[in-house]
Structure 1
């Protein structure tokens, strides 16, 4: 079991706050998610989240036009400069006050940011320059506004900058000091905050939009009329209002606005969730749609003007809309409330999450997108379980029902209930999918239902307290249950007798997990221990003390240090690895622990989050903020906000769920609610406050030599290949792990040698061979050649692969993806060829010549006969050459084509009888 897991992706959260941006090519969307940044590739249908973290939630991000540098700033003004392509952090910087907007210039040489009422111009770090100690160099600071700057916008030539502010004005600035006096203009006249100001594509017009829905169009005109032939007097020219328009959005206010200068399309988002598209300067309404009832907090348009992106932080919604075709490219939303349970599908390709909002969401691990959402539950969903084949999902809820979901048709096909209305808090499903069990805090019994009939078949009595946890073995019908009576019971569901002896523990059991082979059960207790019991002998065999391994952070209201805190020194979720040798554990704290079970040692500890906006992430509090009444961060300053909607407090006390409702706690607490290992053994998922964290083993190592020797060189591989030592050259290429070398050897092996080479391939290289074929075949044109390789490897090593599925899961998934891609292409090509053949055979004269006179028809028929005779000669020659050169699959196809052309006239009557169209 490998322990080098690293953070790879964040699911369950697509947008939190701040702005969203498109890349230069318009196919990649960047969105802030908490204190991280997620990237969505809208063409390849993939997503990833940067590994680096900010100290607090990200407030604004910007990507330079070259697509190489990403700059993200958090709520306190701390910035991180990232190499976007290499995904590496280059520099940390502190702007020392909150940043409201951040924009790179179109030429990428400078960037501007708005800090309070000031505008700062900075030079973008350049690789061509000499290495310098400070990559950020500030060029200029503009101070002209009297209130907070709301937005910034560059001119297309990167010479001028427009700024809008809460002082009801917009201003224009120049990068050149000589032009500053000419460009210094204040655009006044609005009666509310100016939300945005933009240049037209020719820079002859300026548009300013205010919060109350007013759009002013400004032009550079003169007071005096200029006659023809006279030189204009520039002293009489100034920016003046040319036209005024109003949105008339009733009670809604303008929240966000953006402008695409190339197509003159203005996109406006309102506080009621509505967004509109206008064409300026004519002010023509193109479209008017709504993404919900919550305010739109982010609006972006890509460089081509085809795709629009919208973000709403209230519900965590992210939307990409193609306005010309009126279709959605991306439509995602995370859970509204805390995540309670996480489950992997048996093939490891999907993650299912359940939440307090009563929804169940299925996420694709590769793309990171939500595939489907189930909303049938009327209360919080507390448990999830898969059947062994992965086509059936079970869920338990506090609404008193257990539901079975069909993941092929995406519907609820069974609903299980008890004799009385009780709330189910735990769930376990037999791997065969025959029975499903659930426990409740209201009853001391375990309810067992038959999935086929939907009837309650048995009630397991024996516990003397509420049932807290259930877990099924993956290999046999062994069910383990725990209760508040401090006992563990092992049930044989399909046995004749249900009399079981309890296993005593000395503290309340918080989590339980059965080893995949069904021989051992692990439990996490309230005193911070993880205990292991042998199921067959009924005795404790091992124990791990986890209290010293847990990072218990300090809350803002704590009067004691984290070292003396006993609040969360325990695990609330545990899970076995595929081989039963490792255990992952997490709880209401900031740590995820990976243990080696035989030795009882901690292999690795993962920090869940470094976001200081959450409670429990800091070990020590800032002493300058501590007073006799508590921390200064506990003071609610929302009443000092300038906007009415920001002053209204809709939050509820007790947001950490389970705290003292008399204290007003509105800051979320960092915790891990559920942990699950992937069946493919290369990843595990953690349901946390920030979302679903995916930790995986990095398999993208460029140089990973295996059994390397001094005699193994690229030259030795080529020499072995020239001497027809195919197996030896292939093994040496895999040892060097050079992709170009593996491709060369792979394509040089003759078809008649493939079976022999596959049979002699060492078993340690089979997984790497299958993974290489799956990845290489997607881009390769040799379809039949690759299929022969797949068949030969599976035929030679199929028995070993079947008995070691967990080792070949990722490799087989790559091959399966290739086969699915080929199958789709072959079916479409086959149908196209079939209809083309029908069309060609229908134009042989049986349905009429289609010519106006007989002479044209005779000429055409003569040309056709000549072509047919020439084709026969060409095909015969080509087929003989191909057979000599060893080409695959073409000789048979050409042999089948020849009789069609030669016997077409002979079979004409038969075709008419068969009804050819």
Structure 2
């Protein structure tokens, strides 16, 4: 529950610190009138003035015992030491020769340490702010890149530093020497492996990569003992394979595999191989667990077993708006951003003419079994076709139940039902063969439907919408639903049933969320 909200500075907040009484908060960053402010957590009243810097403040730390002290560090190459409360300027520390990126008090408050782009670590007296020494000044294996973060061990005997040279180093403060180095990225020189943050909490030592990966460190291992990965940008597509691996793709072109059939479900793995550059627009899974990934650069590539599958990519002629793949994986039906409808087979895509309507195609789906294709159009109609080689043969069936542009289509597992979602947030459930209406009561979203998925037994369906909500629908009792509100800030990109009683959702917030259902 939110207790209070304050705006201590006008711009970005880079760091916050609490005092030992948990009454005072120090917030620093980039503001127009000031770069930092200290205030009471409950009332927001000012408890001092954070002065002395000429450029944005990168980090701060507060002494947890009395007498109260605080220290900040900045892009101006200095640290500033404060007495309080009320907190006021005491002295400027000018020992660094470049940006000062982080500063932290030790447990026990006897010292604080600062690190910067000059690759140096300085140790100061925690009460007076006087310089004690440069840590391991003569070390031959010191960092070769800017140091971005520093943390103390719980006993205050060691420091861990994270650097742009893609290493984390452990320092014995009493012995004044380097004791261990952890290299991140297995020799890679990619900027993604630069280390930009860390924390030492109890027995857990964590360092953050520029890519967003979380590295679990150990004093006993020369490389991270575990890496937690995921998306840093909005997820724009997802597909669940029959082997219960959820593939997700994001705005930056990254593809992750989440194996929910393993002993450690919910742990992501980066898909290996050279993927196309650019935003991922759509994804679809075949029965053989291959996943088609459509990119903004007008191509489709295939992923299998958490790696790029063999074979060249398929050029579509434009970025895909919607992808559907046959159960055998040998045919793809795609609706493109240039309003074309194409069928791709054997590495080649062929444009399909739709003469039955002047309206433009917007979404497509293929039945799991008999090759029936549904295409949704801008005028709210849906037409069905038989897949014949690289052609689509119109069956004559037309569904005109929706009044808005069709944005999502999905056949039930048996192929006898078709769920049709539109730009107005409504879902019509119809008989796939005849087009007869089954129910029009799935109408509780307030914005565009982005994704629909079916439970394996076909008794329920789930939908995700731009409104950020996820709704689980009951086929037998259309008014009986499970409404999960505000699941993803910015909208739900995709939904999937992991089992009859479990669903996963992805969204613009870059997260994957799993819900267990009780009907």
What band does the TM-score fall into relative to the shorter chain?
Answer: 0.7 to 0.9
**Would you say how many aligned residue pairs link Structure 1 and Structure 2?**
471
Where does residue 79 of structure 2 map in the other structure? 168
Q: Partner of 1:907 in structure 2?
A: none
Aligned twin of 1:8: none
* Alpha-carbon distance change, 373 to 74 in structure 1, aligned in 2, over 3 angstroms: farther
What is the CA distance between 1:456 and its match in structure 2? 4.2
**Structure 2 segments unaligned to the other structure (5+ residues):** 28-36
1:395 deviates by 2.0
2:16–2:25: 8 Å Cα contact kept in structure 1?
A: yes
The TM-score, its normalising length taken from structure 2, stands at 0.73
Is 1:386 the counterpart of 2:281? The answer is no
Match of residue 575, structure 1, among 449, 453, 467: 453
Instruction: Pick closer, same or farther for the CA change 1:415–1:698 going to 2, 3 Å.
Output: same
Show CA shifts across 1:582-627 (max 9, x none).
Answer: 33223222322333344442623222259xxx6xxxxxxxxxxxxx
2:420, 2:128 → 1: CA distance? Answer: 77
Q: Name the CA shift for 1:373/1:323 in 2 (closer, same or farther; >3 Å).
A: farther
Match of 2:236 among 326, 340, 347: 340
Counterpart of 1:279 (choices 151, 156, 172) is 172
Query: Alignment partner for residue 508 of structure 1, among 405, 415, 419?
Result: 405
Structure 2 residue aligned with 1:243? 133
Partner of 1:697: 516
Q: Is the 8 A contact 1:164 1:194 kept in 2?
A: no
Partner of 2:114: 209
Tell me, yes or no, if the aligned pair for 1:574 and 1:586 is still in contact at 8 Å: yes
Aligned residue number for residue 115 of structure 1: 26
Question: Aligned residue for 2:384?
Answer: 490
8 Å CA contact retained: 2:313, 2:347: yes
Maintained 8 Å contact 1:476/1:517: no
Q: Which residue of 1 aligns with 2:374?
A: 480
Looking at structure 2, the residues matched to 542 and 402 of structure 1 have their Cα atoms a distance apart, in angstroms, of 35
Would you say the 8 A contact 2:115–2:150 is kept in 1?
Answer: no
RMSD: 4.6
> Judging changes above 3 Å, is the alpha-carbon distance between structure 1 residues 206 and 384 closer, same or farther for their aligned structure 2 residues?
same
Who wins on radius of gyration, i.e. which is larger?
1
- Assess if the C-alpha contact under 8 Å between 1:401 and 1:415 holds in 2: no
Q: Does the CA contact (< 8 Å) of 1:152 and 1:196 recur in 2?
A: no
User: Quick check: 2:151–2:161 contact (8 Å CA) kept in 1?
Assistant: yes
In structure 2, relative to structure 1, the CA distance for the partners of 1:113 and 1:271 (3 Å cut) is: farther
Measured in 2, the distance between the counterparts of 1:211 and 1:445 equals 55
Question: Quick one: distance in 2 between partners of 1:497 and 1:296?
Answer: 52
Superposition pairs for residues 508-657 of structure 1, below 5 Å?
508-544=405-441, 546=443, 549-550=444-445, 569-601=447-479, 603-609=481-487
Higher helix share: 1
The answer to whether the Cα contact below 8 Å between 1:315 and 1:334 also exists between their aligned partners in 2 is: no
Q: In structure 2, what is the equivalent of residue 299 of structure 1? A: 198
Q: 2:249 aligns with which of 330, 351, 354?
A: 354
Pair 1:694–1:238, CA change in 2 (3 A): closer
Q: Would the alpha carbon gap of residues 695 and 479 (structure 1) be closer, same or farther in structure 2, given more than 3 Å must change?
A: same
Match of 1:500, SS?
strand
Aligned to 1:677: 497
After TM superposition, give the deviation of residue 447 of structure 1 in Å: 0.7
What corresponds to 1:896 in structure 2? none
CA 1:497 to 1:195, structure 2 compared with 1: closer, same or farther past 3 Å? closer
- Structure 1 pair 533/524, CA: closer, same or farther in 2 (3 Å)? same
Shift of 1:309: 1.0
SS class of match (2:149): strand
Is the 1:439–1:447 Cα contact (8 Å) retained in structure 2? no
For residue 30 of structure 2, what is the aligned residue in structure 1?
Answer: none
CA distance 1:208–1:457, shift in 2 (3 Å): closer
Q: Give the CA deviation at 1:263.
A: 7.7
Distance 1:489 1:602 in 2: 29
Q: CA deviation at 1:216?
A: 4.2
Q: Is 1:413 the counterpart of 2:291 in the alignment?
A: no
State the match for 1:364 in structure 2.
259
Deviations 1:385-442 (A, max 9, x none): 222243x22222232332232317x332133525x73333322222234433333233
* Counterpart Cα distance in 2 of 1:253 and 1:457: 49
- How far is the alpha carbon of 1:320 from its aligned partner? 1.8
CA distance in 1, matches of 2:462, 2:128: 68
CA distance in 1, matches of 2:81, 2:323: 59
CA contact (8 A) 2:239 2:291 kept: no
Task: Report if aligned partners of 1:278, 1:287 keep a CA contact under 8 Å in 2.
Answer: no
Q: Indicate conservation of the 8 Å contact 1:441/1:467, yes or no.
A: no
The residue that corresponds to 1:376 in the other structure is 275
Match of 1:435 among 331, 339, 342: 331
CA, structure 1 residues 541+143, in 2 after alignment: closer, same or farther (shift >3 Å)?
Answer: closer
Post-superposition Cα deviations, 1:443-488, rounded to whole Å, max 9, x if no partner, equal 6333141xxxx35497654355553222122343322222336442
Higher relative contact order (CA 8 A, sep 6+): 1
Alignment of 1:836-847 (within 5 A): none
Aligned-partner Cα distance in 2 for 1:322–1:478: 55
Structure 2 contact 115–121 (Cα < 8 Å) conserved? yes
The answer to whether the Cα contact below 8 Å between 1:338 and 1:355 also exists between their aligned partners in 2 is yes
Give the conservation status (yes or no) of the 8 Å contact 1:405–1:414: no
2:308 and 2:101 mapped to 1: Cα distance? 48
Distance of aligned partners of 1:199 and 1:100 in 2 relative to their CA distance in 1, 3 Å threshold: closer
Once residues 367 and 583 of structure 1 are traced to their aligned partners in structure 2, the CA distance between those partners, rounded to angstroms, is 23
TM-score by length of 1: 0.44
The 1:597–1:119 alpha-carbon spacing in structure 2 relative to 1, beyond 3 Å, is same
TM-superposed CA distance for 1:150, in Å, is 1.0
Q: Which has the higher strand share?
A: 2
Please give the alpha-carbon distance, in whole angstroms, between the structure 2 residues aligned to 1:296 and 1:75.
Answer: 31
Q: Find the aligned partners of 2:125 and 2:249 in 1 and give their Cα distance.
A: 55
- Do 2:454 and 2:462's aligned partners in 1 also have CA atoms closer than 8 Å? yes
Assess, with a 3 A threshold, how the Cα gap between structure 1 residues 476 and 211 changes in structure 2: closer, same or farther.
same
How far apart, CA to CA, are the structure 1 residues paired with 2:419 and 2:154? 62
1:834 aligns with none
Contact 2:504 2:513 in 1 (8 A): yes
Equivalent in the alignment of 1:265: 158
The separation in 1 between residues aligned to 2:405 and 2:39, in whole angstroms, is 58
Match of 2:224 in 1: 328
SS in structure 2 of the partner of residue 421 of structure 1: coil
Post-superposition offset of 1:188: 5.8
Distance 1:370 1:278 in 2: 32
CA contact (8 A) 1:199 1:206 kept: yes
Which structure 2 residues correspond to residues 745-764 of structure 1 after superposition, within 5 A? none
Which residue in the other structure is 2:34 paired with?
A: none
Q: C-alpha distance in 1, partners of 2:425/2:286?
A: 31
User: Any conservation in 1 of the 2:143–2:163 contact (CA below 8 Å)?
Assistant: no
Gaps in structure 1 of 5+ consecutive residues: 1-52, 56-72, 78-96, 123-135, 175-184, 221-236, 552-568, 615-669, 700-917
